[in-house]
C-alpha cells in the first residue's frame, strides 16, 4: 500500500514540479491555486496542498543553489583575470596569488577563462529568465545510472533506489485537528493511518477512505515531546520513506519550535565563554573566564567526515552534543564560533595545484555546523556568538600557544585559536599584554595588562596576604613574625618607618 500511494503521489509531484519550473518568475498566488485545483481530483485537497508546497520549496532551493553557482563562477573569473594580467613567474603575496609558472599554463588558463565566461553568461541568462535545473531523485543518483560499477550498484538495485527517491508520501500538520494531522495520522499508541488518494480510495480498510497500517511506530528521539503534542492536537508533519539498503520503512515526525527570546550579550557572557575552533576532523574548545583568561584544560571533540551524508551529519551532531554537555557542566551560557564561509575559497582557480587543500576546505561543513549548533544550543539554553574569523589562528598561535604550553601539556595551534575566538567574543583584544609604558616601569601611562577591565573590583589592589611563613626553612610554629618585615631587623627596613636623617660626612679618611 505504501508503494502504491508513494508512486501515485510521486507522479503527481513530478508533474507539479514541471509546472512550477515552467511558471518561473511569473509564479503568483493565483497560479499556485490553479495548480492545487488541478491536483485535487487525483488526490485530495490536503495532498494537493502538500505537493504544491514541496514543489515551491524545491524550486526555491534550486534558485538559491543557482545564486551560489554564480558567485563561484565570478570568483573563479576574478582570480583568473588577475593572474593572467601578471607577468609569467611573478611571485604572489599573502593576499593575492602571483602569475602562472609557465607559458603553457598561462595558455591553458586563458582557455579556461573563456569557458567560465561562457558558463557565467548562460547561468546569468537562466537566472534572469527564472530557469532552474532540478532533478527529482537527485542529480548524483541520476548520474550514477551511467556509472553503475563505480557506484557499486546493479541496474535493478539502482532502479529500486531511483523509484524510492521519487516517491512522495509527506504531509504538513494542522493545529487543532485530531493528533495534529489529518492526512498522515499517528495516534498516541503508535497506530498509523493514511488518507488514501481518490483513485486508491477503494483499497481503504477504515472509514472515511483511510488505510490503517498493521504495524505500530515508536519515536526514540524526543518521544516525550511528540506525545505531548499529539495529546494536545498540535500540528505535526510526517514523512514516510523507504530505506532500500535495509528494506525498511521509516516515519519521520517534525514540528516547529517557538523562537526563544534572544539573550543579551552581557547576560550570556556573565559566566564566561567557550571558544570553539572548527577544523576538518575535530572541534578545539577552551573555556575562558569573564576576564578572558583560559580556565582548565582544552577539550577536543573528534568527528569523521567520511561515508554517506547521513553518517557525516550524525558525526557533526554527536560532536556538538558532547560540546553542549561540557558547556552545561561548566555552567557557561555562551559558545563563540567563527563565522566561516568558504564560498570564495572552494574555487579551483585560487588553489589550482593544491588539490588536497581544496578538498579539505570543501569537506568542512561550516554552514551545516552553524545551523546544527544554533538549533541544538537553543534547546539547551546556550547562546551562540559568531565572531569575525580574521587572523584568529595566526594571532592565537602568536600570543597564546607558547604561554599555554607546559611540561605536561602541549598546546596546539587550534586550541590557541579557540582562546583567540573566545576573547574576541568577549570584546577583549587577542594580545595577552599591551606594550609597556615608554617612560618608566610604572602604570602612569596606563594599566599594562588587559586581563581585567577598569571597573573590576580589586583590579588595582594589592595581593591578599597569605598567612604563615614565607620560606620553607622556618619550622612549623616558629614563623609568627614572618609577615612583619620590621621584626626581622633587616638592614634598611626599620629605617623606612623612622624620620630620615643625613649623617655628617668625614672631612678626611
Check whether residue 247 and residue 289 sit in a common domain: no
Check whether residue 269 and residue 404 sit in a common domain: yes
Which pLDDT value is given to residue 485?
A: 42
Check whether residue 271 and residue 419 sit in a common domain: yes
Claim: this prediction has a pTM higher than 0.85: no
Check whether residue 67 and residue 196 sit in a common domain: no
Domain hosting 86: range is 2-134
* Number of Cβ within a 10 Å radius of residue 65: 13
pLDDT in tens, 255-298: 988 777 777 888 889 999 999 998 878 889 999 999 889 998 99
Which pLDDT value is given to residue 59?
A: 95
Residue 141 inside a domain? The answer is no
Domain end point (choices 83, 116, 134): 134
Residue 436 inside a domain? The answer is no
Residue 451 inside a domain? The answer is no
Residues of the chain with pLDDT under 50: 344, 474, 479-509
Cell of 414: 587550534
Reduced to 3 states (helix: H, G, I; strand: E, B; else coil), residue 356 is: helix
Beta strand ranges found along 177-321 (DSSP E): 184-186, 191-195, 210-216, 237-243, 248-254, 273-278, 282-288, 294-302
Question: How many independent structural domains does the chain possess?
Answer: 3
Which pLDDT value is given to residue 468?
A: 60
* CA–CA separation, 32 and 280 (whole Å): 43
Check whether residue 331 and residue 212 sit in a common domain: no
Q: Is 43 exposed, middle or buried (0-12, 13-18, 19+ CB in 10 A)?
A: buried
Check whether residue 111 and residue 240 sit in a common domain: no
* Number of Cβ within a 10 Å radius of residue 355: 10
Which pLDDT value is given to residue 261?
A: 76
Residue 163 inside a domain? The answer is no
Which pLDDT value is given to residue 338?
A: 87
Please report, for the domain that includes residue 410, its CATH number.
3.30.420.10
Residue 441 inside a domain? The answer is no
Check whether residue 270 and residue 404 sit in a common domain: yes
* CA–CA separation, 287 and 422 (whole Å): 8
Burial state string for 403-430 with b = 16 or more CB within 10 A and e = fewer than 16: ebeeeeeebbbbbbbbbbbbbbbbebeb
Check whether residue 10 and residue 66 sit in a common domain: yes
pLDDT in tens, 243-259: 998 899 999 999 988 77
* CA–CA separation, 247 and 253 (whole Å): 20
Which pLDDT value is given to residue 191?
A: 94
* CA–CA separation, 107 and 105 (whole Å): 5
Which pLDDT value is given to residue 458?
A: 64
Which pLDDT value is given to residue 346?
A: 53
Residue 166 contacts residue 14 (beta carbons within 8 Å): yes
Amino acid at each position: 500500500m505504501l508503494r502504491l500511494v508513494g508512486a501515485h503521489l510521486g507522479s503527481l509531484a513530478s508533474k507539479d514540479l514541471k509546472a512550477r519550473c515552467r511558471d518561473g518568475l511569473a509564479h503568483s498566488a493565483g497560479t499556485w491555486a490553479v495548480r492545487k485545483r488541478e491536483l485535487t481530483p487525483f488526490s485530495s485537497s490536503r495532498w494537493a496542498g502538500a505537493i504544491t508546497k514541496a514543489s515551491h520549496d524545491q524550486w526555491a532551493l534550486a534558485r538559491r543553489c543557482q545564486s551560489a553557482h554564480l558567485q563561484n563562477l565570478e570568483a573563479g573569473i576574478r582570480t583568473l583575470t588577475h593572474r593572467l594580467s601578471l607577468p609569467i613567474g611573478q611571485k604572489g603575496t599573502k593576499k593575492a596569488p602571483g602569475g602562472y609558472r609557465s607559458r603553457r599554463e598561462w595558455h591553458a588558463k586563458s582557455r579556461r577563462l573563456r569557458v567560465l565566461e561562457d558558463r557565467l553568461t548562460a547561468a546569468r541568462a537562466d537566472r534572469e529568465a527564472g530557469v532552474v535545473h532540478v532533478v527529482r531523485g537527485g542529480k548524483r543518483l541520476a548520474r550514477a545510472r551511467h556509472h553503475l560499477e563505480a557506484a557499486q550498484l546493479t541496474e535493478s538495485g539502482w532502479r529500486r533506489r531511483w523509484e524510492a527517491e521519487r516517491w512522495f508520501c509527506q504531509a504538513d500538520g494542522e493545529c487543532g485537528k485530531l493528533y495534529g494531522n489529518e492526512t498522515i495520522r499517528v495516534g498516541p499508541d503508535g497506530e498509523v493511518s493514511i488518507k488514501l488518494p481518490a483513485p486508491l480510495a477503494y483499497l481503504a480498510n477504515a472509514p472515511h477512505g483511510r488505510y490503517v497500517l498493521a504495524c505500530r511506530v515508536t519515536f526514540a528521539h524526543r518521544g516525550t515531546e511528540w506525545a505531548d503534542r499529539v495529546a494536545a492536537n498540535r500540528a505535526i508533519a510526517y514523512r514516510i520513506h523507504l530505506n532500500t539498503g535495509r528494506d525498511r520503512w521509516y516515519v519521520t515526525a517534525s514540528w516547529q519550535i517557538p523562537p526563544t527570546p534572544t539573550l543579551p550579550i552581557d547576560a550570556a557572557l556573565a559566566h564566561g565563554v567557550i571558544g570553539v575552533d572548527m577544523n576538518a576532523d575535530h572541534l578545539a574548545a577552551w573555556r575562558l573566564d569573564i576576564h578572558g583568561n583560559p580556565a582548565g584544560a582544552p577539550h577536543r571533540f573528534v568527528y569523521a567526515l567520511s561515508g554517506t551524508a547521513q553518517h557525516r551529519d550524525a558525526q557533526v551532531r554527536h560532536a556538538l552534543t558532547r560540546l553542549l554537555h561540557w558547556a552545561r557542566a561548566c555552567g557557561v551560557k555562551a559558545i563563540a564560533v567563527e563565522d566561516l564561509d568558504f564560498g570564495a575559497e572552494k574555487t579551483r582557480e585560487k588553489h589550482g595545484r593544491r588539490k588536497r587543500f581544496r578538498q579539505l576546505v570543501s569537506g568542512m561543513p561550516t554552514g551545516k555546523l552553524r545551523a546544527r549548533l544554533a538549533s541544538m544550543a537553543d534547546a539547551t539554553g546556550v547562546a551562540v556568538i559568531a565572531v569575525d574569523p580574521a587572523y584568529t589562528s595566526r594571532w592565537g598561535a602568536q600570543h597564546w600557544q607558547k604561554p599555554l604550553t607546559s611540561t605536561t601539556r602541549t598546546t596546539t595551534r587550534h586550541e590557541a585559536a579557540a582562546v583567540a575566538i573566545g576573547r574576541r567574543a568577549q570584546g577583549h583584544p587577542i594580545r595577552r599584554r599591551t606594550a609597556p609604558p615608554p617612560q618608566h616601569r610604572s602604570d602612569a601611562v596606563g594599566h599594562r595588562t588587559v586581563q581585567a577591565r577598569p571597573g573590576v573590583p580589586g583590579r588595582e589592589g594589592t595581593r591578599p596576604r597569605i598567612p604563615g611563613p614565607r620560606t620553607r626553612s622556618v619550622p612549623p610554629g616558629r614563623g609568627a613574625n614572618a609577615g612583619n618585615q620590621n621584626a626581622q631587623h633587616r638592614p634598611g627596613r626599620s629605617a623606612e618607618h623612622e624620620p630620615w636623617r643625613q649623617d655628617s660626612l668625614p672631612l678626611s679618611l
